[in-house]
């Protein structure tokens, strides 16, 4: 029976090195983010599921005309002066009349009197007002002056020279509701015709300090209007007049984008203004991690609706679009300042290929260190 051979000396060292190298060949170096080449692999394939667009001055101008994703594209607010604006009479208002008749034998005034007072006549829910000696008159949406003239005209057959004095007290039915986001939510009567949205918010105790990026939303006549609270406070022309039946909500601006990869922060971030550029978004996420990030590999991932696809370049060619930004050139930097981030976009900061190469070299160094240890 022959003797069993064992690996010794150079043969053992060679076997150990080959074993380590085989392990390295079977696994990839550990990384915290993908490489740009990995994400964009297959972009030129006829069956590619995504479209890649480099962010340049020309492409920024082109994409600016594409459909907006994630929201309507802007907040729509009411034009100034679109509220009650002046003394327009509304349902629930109370109207007091004094009818003057200069004739000595007045048909409406008591003996020895030249006038008759008709106080606290209430405008019906339908908007009409019952006036003795005249009947029902439609007054809703009219000014006091218009109603006064109509009453004088209606009285003319009975009291040809009658003069009407009219005063209006705003009724409690003419109110607005402020529902959420303030100190004291509830219904607030419009005690005069000059109540503005800021006056209403002040009456309700102001906007809650716990709200992040508050958004003011108003429902009027079945339509919804929105404005950021910051814009409302800074622009006096946005301080519109309130109208009976308005409903106001103060809520957080829920628009967001996400950041992943070799960025300072990997998280969901909310919009702080109506619009935010790619450069501003990179600042919000804490910039790039110097030791890991590839400044040539900033990717913005966006989804478009199928109905928005175009083949002539006037819109996206695929529902999934990847915008690439190169921060190592002046052109790329200026383009990033102009490129707008859409809500629900994802910003991926890819990892530098040098980082991956360094990791692999470190593993090879470990392998050769193991070989040297074996030789000792």
Q: Give the relative orientation of helices 353-375 and 10-25 as an angle to the nearest 10 degrees.
A: 160
Average pLDDT over residues 170-183: 85
Q: What is the CATH number of domain 94-169?
A: 3.30.1950.10
| Among 97, 111, 96, 114, residue whose Cα is nearest residue 161 | 114
* Cβ atoms of residues 201 and 207 within 8 Å: yes
Query: How far is the C-alpha of 93 from the C-alpha of 345, rounded, in Å?
Result: 50
Residue 348 pLDDT: 96
Q: Do the bridges between strand 268-270 and strand 186-189 make them parallel or antiparallel, or are there none, so unpaired? A: unpaired
Residue 88 pLDDT: 75
Query: How far is the C-alpha of 278 from the C-alpha of 59, rounded, in Å?
Result: 14
Average pLDDT over residues 63-89: 79
Any residues with CB less than 8 A from the CB of 360 and at least 6 apart, and which? 24, 29
Query: How far is the C-alpha of 15 from the C-alpha of 140, rounded, in Å?
Result: 98
Beta partners for 224? 219
pLDDT category of residue 194 using cuts at 50, 70 and 90 = confident
- 25 pLDDT higher than 50: no
| Among 344, 367, 294, residue whose Cα is nearest residue 38 | 294
Where do runs of H (alpha helix) occur along the chain?
A: 10-25, 36-39, 57-63, 144-155, 197-203, 229-234, 278-284, 330-338, 353-375
Higher pLDDT, 184 or 364: 184
Higher pLDDT, 20 or 287: 287
Which CATH number, 1.10.3720.10, 3.40.30.10, 3.10.560.10, 3.40.50.2300, labels domain 175-252? 3.10.560.10
Sequential DSSP letters for 224-264: EEEEEHHHHHH-GGG-PBP-TT-EEEEEE---EEEEEESBS
Q: Where are the domains of the chain?
A: 36-71+255-357, 94-169, 175-252
Residue 279 pLDDT: 96
* Other CB atoms within 10 A of residue 208 CB: 14
Query: How far is the C-alpha of 13 from the C-alpha of 373, rounded, in Å?
Result: 9
Judge if 94-169 and 175-252 fold alike in CATH terms.
Answer: no
Of the listed ranges 88-92, 312-316, 327-331, 358-362, the one predicted with least confidence: 358-362
* Cβ atoms of residues 345 and 257 within 8 Å: yes
The burial class, CB within 10 Å (0-12 / 13-18 / 19+), for 48 is middle
- 21 pLDDT higher than 50: no
Beta partners for 256? 270
- 305 pLDDT higher than 60: yes
Average pLDDT over residues 307-319: 93
36-71+255-357 architecture in CATH? Answer: Roll (3.10)
pTM greater than 0.85: no
Sequential DSSP letters for 314-366: SS-SSSEEEEEE-TTSHHHHHHHHHPBPPTT-EEEEEEPHHHHHHHHHHHHHH
Residue 216 pLDDT: 97
SS3 298: strand
What percentage of the chain exceeds 70 in pLDDT? 81
Lookup: tokens for 64: 């600016």
């Amino acid at each position: 029976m022959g003797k069993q051979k064992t690996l010794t000396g150079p043969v053992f060292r060679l076997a150990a090195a080959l074993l380590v190298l085989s392990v390295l060949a079977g696994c990839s170096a550990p990384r915290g983010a993908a490489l740009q080449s990995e994400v964009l692999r297959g972009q030129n394939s006829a069956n590619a599921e995504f479209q890649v667009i480099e962010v340049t001055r020309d492409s920024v101008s082109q994409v600016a005309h594409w459909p907006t994703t994630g929201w309507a594209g802007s907040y729509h607010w009411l034009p100034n002066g679109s509220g009650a604006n002046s003394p327009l009479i509304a349902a629930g208002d109370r109207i007091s009349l004094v009818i003057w008749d200069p004739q000595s034998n007045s048909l409406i005034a008591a003996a020895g009197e030249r006038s008759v007072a008709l106080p606290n006549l209430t405008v019906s829910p339908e908007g009409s007002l019952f006036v003795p000696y005249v009947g029902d008159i439609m007054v809703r949406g009219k000014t006091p002056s218009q109603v006064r003239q109509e009453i004088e005209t209606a009285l003319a057959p009975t009291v040809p020279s009658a003069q009407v004095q009219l005063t209006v007290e705003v009724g409690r039915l003419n109110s607005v509701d402020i529902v959420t986001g303030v100190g004291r939510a509830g219904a607030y009567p419009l005690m005069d015709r000059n109540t503005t949205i800021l006056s209403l918010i002040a009456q309700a105790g102001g906007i809650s300090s716990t709200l992040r990026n508050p958004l003011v939303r108003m429902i009027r006549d079945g339509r919804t209007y929105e404005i950021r609270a910051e814009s409302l406070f800074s622009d006096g022309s946005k301080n519109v007049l309130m109208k009976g039946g308005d409903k106001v909500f103060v809520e957080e601006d829920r628009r967001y984008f996400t950041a992943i990869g070799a960025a300072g922060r990997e998280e969901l971030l909310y919009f702080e203004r109506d619009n935010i550029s790619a450069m501003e978004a990179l600042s919000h996420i804490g910039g790039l991690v110097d030791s890991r990030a590839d400044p040539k590999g900033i990717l913005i991932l966006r989804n478009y609706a199928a109905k928005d696809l175009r083949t002539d370049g006037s819109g996206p060619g695929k529902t999934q679009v990847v915008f690439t930004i190169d921060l190592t050139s002046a052109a790329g930097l200026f383009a990033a300042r102009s490129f707008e981030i859409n809500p629900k976009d994802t910003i991926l900061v890819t990892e530098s290929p040098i980082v991956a190469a360094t990791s692999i070299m470190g593993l090879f160094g470990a392998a050769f260190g193991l070989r040297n240890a074996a030789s000792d």
